[in-house]
Amino acid sequence: MNTLSSQAGPARTKRITAPDIMSRKGQTPLVCLTAYTTPTARIMDPHCDILLVGDSLGMVIHGLPNTIGVTMEMMILHGQAVMRGSETAFVVIDMPFGSYEASPEQAFANAVRLLKETGAQAVKLESGPTVAETIRYLTERGIAVMGHVGLRPQAVNVEGGFKAKGRTQAERDKVIKEAQDSEAAGAFAIVVEGVAADLADEVTRLVSIPTIGIGASNTCDGQVLVTDDMLGLFDWTPKFVRHYADLRTQISTAVETYAKDVRDRSFPAPQETYFAK
Catalytic annotation, residues: 193
Cα-based distances in Å from 30 to 91, 211, 224, 230 = 13, 9, 9, 17
Q: Spell out where the chain has E strands.
A: 30-34, 50-53, 90-94, 122-124, 144-150, 189-193, 211-214, 222-225
Cα-based distances in Å from 176 to 92, 198, 240 = 23, 12, 21
Q: Binding site membership: which residues?
A: 55-56, 94, 124, 126
What does the alpha-carbon distance between residue 203 and residue 175 come to, in Å, rounded to a whole number? 8
What does the alpha-carbon distance between residue 148 and residue 33 come to, in Å, rounded to a whole number? 15
Backbone angles phi, psi at 206, to 5 degrees: -80, -20
Q: Binding site membership for Mg(2+): which residues?
A: 55, 94, 126
Cα-based distances in Å from 18 to 2, 25, 79, 125, 156 = 13, 12, 18, 16, 29
Plot region of 129 (φ>0 → left; ψ -120 to 50 → alpha; else → beta)? alpha
